[in-house]
Amino acid sequence: MYKLQDPIGTRNRAYGVSGWKAFSSGPVRKAGMWAWILHRISGLAIILFLLLHIWEISSANRGGTNLFNQTMAGLKAPLYVVGEWLLFLAVVYHGINGVRLVLFDLNIGVKKQKTLFWVVLGLSAVLIAAGTSAFLSLLV
């Protein structure tokens, strides 16, 4: 009954702690496993960013117009632009792979999960290539 209690991403969550261990030890690093671990890691990175983002935007709440403008100016530093670009990569992958997972929920493409993982990577690469110039222009 455990699955019914917490069926988040039923197929990928079945790995549990053994998934993390198996991935880090090597022998089962196949496409589906990469898809799973990248979804987990990008997800954690994004929620960490979201909490920081709420904090940073809330400078308007803590110190009004001045602190907000000061904070926004500080965030133009290259380090943060690179960080935002990494966030962009994480969001693009997580979103597109998320569509792959919902298709599996609907029982579509389960047997082609490996091919679909490559499709996810391909689509991500195209979107990332298209979006990267906007970040580059902030650096130069």
Partner 1 sequence: MGHTQGLWAWFLQRVSAALLIFFLGTHFFVLHFVPGNIDINFAGVQTRLQSALFIVVDLGLLVTGLYHGLNGVRAVVLDWWPRLASSITWVLWIVGVAATVYGWQTLLVFLR
Least distance in angstroms from the C-beta of 116 to partner 1? 16
Determine the Cα–Cα distance for residues 114 and 95; give it in Å rounded to an integer: 17
The count of residues interacting with partner 1 (CB under 8 A) is 44
Question: Among 39, 17, 23, 22, which residue's Cα sits nearest to residue 121?
Answer: 39
**Contact status, residue 138 vs residue 76, Cβ threshold 8 Å:** yes
Return the range that interacts with partner 1 (CB under 8 A); candidates 23-31, 51-59, 109-117, 118-126: 51-59
91 part of the interface to partner 1, by CB under 8 A: yes
| Residue choice 29, 30, 34, 57 for contact with partner 1 (CB under 8 A) | 57
Least distance in angstroms from the C-beta of 31 to partner 1? 20
Q: With b meaning 16 or more CB within 10 Å and e meaning fewer, what string describes 99-121?
A: ebbeebeeeeeeeebeebbeebb
Least distance in angstroms from the C-beta of 26 to partner 1? 18
